[in-house]
Structure 1
Amino acid sequence: MKLRYSALHIAVTAVFASAAVHAAGQQASQPTEKAPSASKVKNLDAVQVTATKRETPLQKTPIAITAIGGDTLDKERVMTVQDLTKLVPGLQGTSQGDHGVVTLTLRGIGNDSAKTEYADPEVATFVDGVYTPRAEAAASLLLDMDSVEVLRGPQGTLWGRNSTAGAISFNTVKPDIDGGFYGNGSIGLGNYNQSGVRAAVNLPISSTFAMRVAAVHEQHDGYVDYQNPVGQIPTLAQQQANYLASGGDPANFQPIDTNLFVQKGQKYNSQDQSAARISARWRPSDSFLWDLSYEYFKDRGTPGMNLMQHPRAGQDFWSALIDVAPYLDRSSHSVRSRMDWVINDNLELTYVAGYSRYSGKSDFDQDGGVNVPTSFTTNGVYQEDRTNHSNYISSSHEFNLKSRGDNTVDWILGAYYEHENNNMRFDIPIMNGTQQGTVSWQGSFIQPEELVTATAAFAQATWNMSDSWHLTGGARWSHDKRENRGGVNWGWAYDPAYPQQPISPGQQPGDVGFAISQHNDATYSKSKPTWLLRINHDVGANSMIYASVSTGYKSGGTQDGGALYQPETLTNYEIGAKLAFLDGHLTWNSAAYYEVFKNYQLSAPVTYPDGSHGLGFSNVGGKTKVAGFESELAWQSTNDRANLVLSLIPEKKLGTEKYAASNDYYVPTICPPESTISNNCMDISGNDLPHAPNVSLTAIYEHDFVLSSGGRLTPRISAQYQSAQWLSWFNFGAGDKQKAYARGDLSLRYTEPGDKWYINAYVQNVSDGKVKSNAAGSTLLADGSVAFTSQYLPPRTYGVQFGFWF
């Protein structure tokens, strides 16, 4: 096992060294950041959340919330949003290879194709209150997090844009003005040449100002090996026979160049990510507080590969016949600001602002080598999905004025504005056989300016009718405007005057045999109110029950060809209970919900009647319905901690009157005459929603063995079970389904007596199970069957981590 050093490794090591020198000069009375020993952990009923845009106890907040602290994030090795899924009832994450993103589903609601400048997610994500609009943000590293709050159900009143199914709020660790100089760090090694370094330092500057610096680097080799084409590619004589049988001209025959198949270099499913954050906190008086941060993230890993569910004979499961080398190069810069003014004993004003700039490039082997070519231009397919560039710029501003103290009516008023300016170019060359072959089709999608402007005003008030009864009402008015300016889709014109070669990044499509197939200029503009009505009753000092009706909304927009798609709306009916027992050492929080969607949005890559390709959006007719129950049980004693997370989704049916198509699937039925696409179609009315297992259960348990030396040895087990679930709305057979599975993680941590350092050994996916997160089946094999491919959760990984506090 080798450790590959990077500039960030060296920089972080330097931080550790300077921190140690500085720490040695501090007085012993200075506070330090240590591991939370069991005896010092707060009671579970003391956990605070910010779901109502004010700090309240979790057990007294009448919303279905999962609150995950920084210590749990560390022990469960939560590095990205996808790693949260086992800790949150109803949350699923789906990796998407060609864009290298993660799309989220909550309570069965999500959109696997919400991965471009056109589409928005149903699950909104926020970092320190700032909305992150594009799906690429979900692939970023979680750095120096204080907590994560997952709000389930529509959060349209207070949280706004695209929180139809819920919202995820990430809260970073803030500088500590009063805490002195302290920090933490960790170094880890594992299989697949995994290595990781993390560090965070609190820097008190004065009695009113402090800063915090945090950095992380994580890397590992790719999980997917390259298959050797030798032994799979037919002999030269067979290639000639196959080419002639297809009607080819003998004078044009070429042998397959096996050097075009990738055999070395960085593999698919690798990680090479770094992030750093500088935060500042200024508190010039008791009435004003300003938090400001700058965060940088870069990703030089590789996309995840679509693997054959049933590999060819003699080939390993974690391997593929690759003719497009993986490439990923993306960076983001984010600035986040929050100002809080206490105007008087009764009023507080907050201003939250954010700015982010994302840029990315990628290259992906979309065909995955499923069909082995029989000659240079027969049987196989060469499909490269290449993002030449994508640039997303967003800025947002939010003001809210709220009441303070104990009042008969607690209220909040707010105004919100967000603007995005996005551009990208995405090329898809598709060749028959190999990249030496003839053009099957190729396109270039160029969007020079995709603008999004969102404005909103909201209000919410809670009438405290008595000490135990509380009635809440809220409303939000939202206006969304989306403009595509100058967007053009180019398609191969099949002009014999041009050589049949894959388009390269530096070529302009109009110069190499392409013609304009679609102009995408269009404007979408629409307003929508959403509202909330809720009543809750305190049944004890730290227990309550509640019932609510709320609505959610996700904007419509523009799509390829300039067509518009409609917004989707949701009404959510929910009852819940939050109960605390054993003096706060046991909590049990549950919710039952029934959701009704109208105009549920679908999107997929499709083919239009003129043969051009594009990303098509549509709305499902009728009512899409989801009903479920979710429960979280948490218990802790001095030396024991346990969690049970349960999700039941027995009903998750699509609406009616909808034929769907997708280039990712082979659908044998002809589309109805009124269809605007030329793919074959399928009636998906009444099908189950994907990524919504009937049963999902996670169990976590850990115990501290206190040693005679005073140190602690803590074994931890985390296990998850999920029943079978569909992976697309087509509900095709076994290839389109993840069967029921169980998956477990183990760790063993030793913490030294003074809580100054620890060492942790872990194994994730102990059974080395193969769990699909998506599926596609568009390739017909020679025997007429369809070959399905999938993205998979990582194989078994293991390693050791050393961490310390100072």
Structure 2
Amino acid sequence: MNYRPLLAGASALALVWSGAAAAQTATPETQDAPAQANASNTEDGEIVVTAQRRNENLMTTAVSASVLSGTQLDNKGVANVDALQFAMPSVVVNNFGQGNDFNVRGIGKAEHNTQTTTGVITYRDGVPTFPGYVQGEPYYDVANIQVLRGPQGTIVGQNATGGAVFVNTNDPIIGGGIHGYFNLNYGNYNDAGFQGAVNLPLSDTFAARVALYASRRDTFYNITGPNGAPYPYDKGNVGIMAGRVSFLWKPTDRLSILWKTDAGHLDMGAYPATPFSNYFETLPGTSTPNPNHRDLFDVSFNAPQAARDEFVRSTLKAEYELAGGVKLRSVSSYQWANTMYRADLDGTATGISTFYDSVDEQQVTTELNLISPDTGRVTWLLGAFGLWNDYYFRKPYQFIIDTAYPFNLPAAQYKLQGTNPTRSLAAFGQIGFAITPRLKLDAGIRYTASQSTNHVDVLQYGTYIRQDQQVKSDNVSYKVSLGWKASDTQYLYGFVATGFRPGGLNVPVGLGNPAPFEPEEVTSYEAGWKANWAGGKVRTTITGFYNDYKNFQVIIGYPTFPTFGIELNVPNSTKIYGFEAEAEFHFGGLQLDAGVNVLKSELGTFYASDPRVAAVGACDPRTGSPTNAANCINLNGRRQTYAPNLTFNLGAQYELALGNGDKITPRANFGHVGDQWATLFQNSARGDHLEARNILNAQLAYQHKSWTVTLYGTNLTDQHYPAALNSGLYFAGPPRQYGIKLLKTF
């Protein structure tokens, strides 16, 4: 069902008009990371990926992926998912507040609601997390992050059309002694934080690890009330607390059981946002100065704001090696969260539109695998997966859009309560055959059955609407790849794969129960070349891809009542294609890395109405409408939303030895995310065009034995840019931050 921004379209005419500073690395790679099962680098420098349920050398695996260790994340200033887009190519993150829309190669989630499943699945310690919300969870005590691009499904639990992100935290180490780290930081905006972890070997077969994270920060915003008066509500001060406890039991060499439980309280204070029109320096289409122009961080409100997430996630992973080396593996999880959000929905000190919700989400997942040994000419994997997710919109009516604040008039309110349970069941398998010692064929297949149900009560401006509706989707997808190790340093691969996103339900908005939308399918073609040069000191990867989407899912104006929003399918083929390149250089103390993605997206022939524009008459998605020609637009060839044509990143560091084991290391990282369109209608006058983001981060680290002091700065040019457009409001990306960190390992 449509969630927070039901909102530009769903609230109808009244709304239509109206700590990057904290480190997240665990310990230096030389102490913790190589000992972890999920570590990204082996001792000989190979990059190992585990996302496909095996330990595989990334440079000789038929997959497009980027891997960053916990130390690399810290060096690049990546403390949360927002910053990940500036550290690797093809990734775009749009922060709408507590929910982030994660896109890879232009696909993921471009419409922020609950009824649209995401095309990019984020896994935490092997289990898929909540699909769109509670995404502010910080990165701490992380072993590595692996981002796989393209359709995934024949070797992982949940199906994905755009890619999968695996966040792997450090495991306990049996026999590793008591060791760990703590990290303190302080920066501008009174940004203060702590994180730490300790490994506890409790016996010869049992170990525990405890990790903690805490941070607080003053608001980025200058907020005033009506007529410049002080604003009496929360201004966006941030306070985050999170923790993780892990237990590893290995009673025999064949059996291991790993249990991890995470919990967090993420108080973002508020997510202030400003009307897009205030960002324009001149009135659209003119050279006349905009009398309402204000900086993104200079805002005024007359209604309270709040933003708070609470969550618990518990995962249980068990592996048992059967006779002959076959592994039986199970990974299960229970997750619960509550997300609470309150906003001045018109973003002004004079408007009367507000929003409030408090929503619970519960998710249970389980995955079972049989995995053959890695040796042998034939390898195989079998898997079964189940996911049950339930949104509970609390009673009585704790989802409220109020267009007459503060008068509490039922005729001016849209209220919703009820549940949205979803289910996804799948069986999958993959087989690999080494045609020759250097040529390998892999083939996989997956069957998925999904279901979504709405049991919803709506009070729309005093009118009661009941929805009891269900939609089911099933699909068979596949992947076939061929990898050729042309030499010890050169690897070529190609594959064709299909992916699937299930259909869903539209929430009732003045039109009874609208029709469901259909599943989205993709056929993806990819070819790549991976190479090592100069004795392994240089690594390069070049990849080309072409994606053909059927029934592409979009939100547009309801065909017979365009001022209401609804999700439909593009009836004709949508194309997304491009290429990527990555390179790493290691020469003595000098390390360089770079990545680039060039993307082209073309929506299929499709007519739609912009729900933000008043219109009369139908707009048929296939044929258009002569009676609504002014706002029945042919979207053929339009770019996909939040799909920039260019992203790239550059990084450099030089480690200078000072003697006695001391060293000093300057680092710099630059990320570019090209300009984007926030809606398919590409109306610049309505704020749809988002400018490019150019983010420069830098560090200067001094290490003495087990102590490291680091001066850091993020967004050093202090670019103020809109990170997303939602309900006519711009949400700003974080401004310049700087400070000092102190790391102690033991």
Tell me which interval the TM-score lies in, with the shorter structure as reference length: 0.7 to 0.9
Q: Which amino acid aligns with 1:538?
A: K
Q: Aligned to 1:71, what secondary structure does the other structure show?
A: helix
Q: Which amino acid aligns with 2:688?
A: D
- 5+ residue gaps, structure 2: 1-25, 282-290
For each residue in 1:128-166, what CA deviation from the matched residue of structure 2 results, as whole angstroms up to 9, or x when unmatched? 211113311422112211011100000022224341100
Q: Whole-Å Cα distance in 1 between the matches of residues 479 and 159 of structure 2?
A: 16
Change (3 A) 1:738 1:610: closer
Q: Which amino acid aligns with 2:468?
A: D
Change (3 A) 1:316 1:166: closer
For each residue in 1:461-504, what CA deviation from the matched residue of structure 2 results, as whole angstroms up to 9, or x when unmatched? 0110111000111000000011222x122111xxxxxxxxxxxx
Q: Aligned to 2:428, what secondary structure does the other structure show?
A: strand
Q: Whole-Å Cα distance in 1 between the matches of residues 371 and 172 of structure 2?
A: 25
Change (3 A) 1:35 1:577: closer
Instruction: Trace 1:498-577 onto structure 2 (pairs within 5 A).
Output: 514-516=462-464, 518-561=465-508, 562=513, 563-577=515-529
Q: Whole-Å Cα distance in 2 between the matches of residues 732 and 443 of structure 1?
A: 27
Q: Whole-Å Cα distance in 1 between the matches of residues 479 and 175 of structure 2?
A: 39
Change (3 A) 1:436 1:652: same
Change (3 A) 1:481 1:126: same
For each residue in 1:191-232, what CA deviation from the matched residue of structure 2 results, as whole angstroms up to 9, or x when unmatched? 11101100000000011110000010122111121125336x
Change (3 A) 1:681 1:192: farther
Change (3 A) 1:292 1:211: same
Q: Aligned to 1:87, what secondary structure does the other structure show?
A: coil
- The residue that corresponds to 2:571 in the other structure is 621
Provide the aligned C-alpha RMSD in A: 2.8
Q: Whole-Å Cα distance in 2 between the matches of residues 594 and 367 of structure 1?
A: 40
Change (3 A) 1:153 1:314: closer
Question: How far apart are 1:588 and its partner, in Å?
Answer: 0.6
Change (3 A) 1:314 1:698: closer
- The residue that corresponds to 2:7 in the other structure is none
Question: How far apart are 1:315 and its partner, in Å?
Answer: 5.0
- The residue that corresponds to 1:792 in the other structure is 732
Change (3 A) 1:519 1:215: same
- The residue that corresponds to 1:596 in the other structure is 548
How many corresponding residue pairs?
688
Q: Whole-Å Cα distance in 2 between the matches of residues 607 and 192 of structure 1?
A: 47
Change (3 A) 1:681 1:298: farther
- The residue that corresponds to 2:331 in the other structure is 352
Change (3 A) 1:610 1:553: closer
Change (3 A) 1:158 1:32: closer
Q: Comparing 271-280 with 615-624, which one deviates more in the overlay? A: 615-624
- The residue that corresponds to 2:417 in the other structure is 446
- 1:43–1:585: 8 Å Cα contact kept in structure 2? no
Q: Aligned to 2:347, what secondary structure does the other structure show?
A: coil
- The residue that corresponds to 1:267 in the other structure is 235
- 2:108–2:161: 8 Å Cα contact kept in structure 1? no
Higher relative contact order, chain-length normalized (CA < 8 Å, sep 6+): 2
Is 1:88 the counterpart of 2:88? The answer is: yes
- The residue that corresponds to 1:763 in the other structure is 713
Change (3 A) 1:70 1:548: same
- The residue that corresponds to 1:643 in the other structure is 593
Q: Which amino acid aligns with 2:463?
A: A
Is 1:427 the counterpart of 2:399? The answer is: yes
The percent identity for this pair of structures is: 24
- 2:559–2:608: 8 Å Cα contact kept in structure 1? no
Selected match of 1:578 from 516, 526, 530: 530
- 5+ residue gaps, structure 1: 1-15, 17-30, 232-257, 374-380, 493-513, 779-788
- The residue that corresponds to 1:234 in the other structure is none
Selected match of 2:110 from 98, 112, 115: 112
Change (3 A) 1:43 1:179: closer
- The residue that corresponds to 1:654 in the other structure is 603
Is 1:408 the counterpart of 2:377? The answer is: yes
Q: Comparing 587-596 with 683-692, which one deviates more in the overlay? A: 683-692
Change (3 A) 1:590 1:671: farther
Question: How far apart are 1:732 and its partner, in Å?
Answer: 1.3
Q: Which amino acid aligns with 1:655?
A: G
Is 1:391 the counterpart of 2:360? The answer is: yes
Q: Aligned to 2:227, what secondary structure does the other structure show?
A: coil
Change (3 A) 1:221 1:683: farther
Is 1:461 the counterpart of 2:431? The answer is: yes
Selected match of 1:365 from 330, 344, 357: 344
- The residue that corresponds to 2:321 in the other structure is 342
Change (3 A) 1:320 1:568: same
Q: Whole-Å Cα distance in 1 between the matches of residues 297 and 457 of structure 2?
A: 38
Q: Which amino acid aligns with 1:349?
A: L
Q: Aligned to 1:149, what secondary structure does the other structure show?
A: strand
For each residue in 1:374-428, what CA deviation from the matched residue of structure 2 results, as whole angstroms up to 9, or x when unmatched? xxxxxxx3211111x2111111111111111421211001111111222114534
Selected match of 1:729 from 680, 697, 700: 680
- 1:217–1:273: 8 Å Cα contact kept in structure 2? yes
Question: How far apart are 1:361 and its partner, in Å?
Answer: 1.7
Q: Whole-Å Cα distance in 2 between the matches of residues 437 and 41 of structure 1?
A: 59
Question: How far apart are 1:436 and its partner, in Å?
Answer: 5.1
Q: Whole-Å Cα distance in 1 between the matches of residues 498 and 295 of structure 2?
A: 48
Q: Whole-Å Cα distance in 1 between the matches of residues 400 and 658 of structure 2?
A: 61
Q: Comparing 319-328 with 551-560, which one deviates more in the overlay? A: 319-328
Change (3 A) 1:52 1:134: closer
Change (3 A) 1:766 1:454: same
Question: How far apart are 1:647 and its partner, in Å?
Answer: 0.6
Q: Which amino acid aligns with 1:46?
A: E
- The residue that corresponds to 2:191 in the other structure is 194
- 2:304–2:342: 8 Å Cα contact kept in structure 1? yes
Question: How far apart are 1:110 and its partner, in Å?
Answer: 3.1
Give the TM-score normalised by structure 2.
Answer: 0.87
Q: Which amino acid aligns with 1:395?
A: V
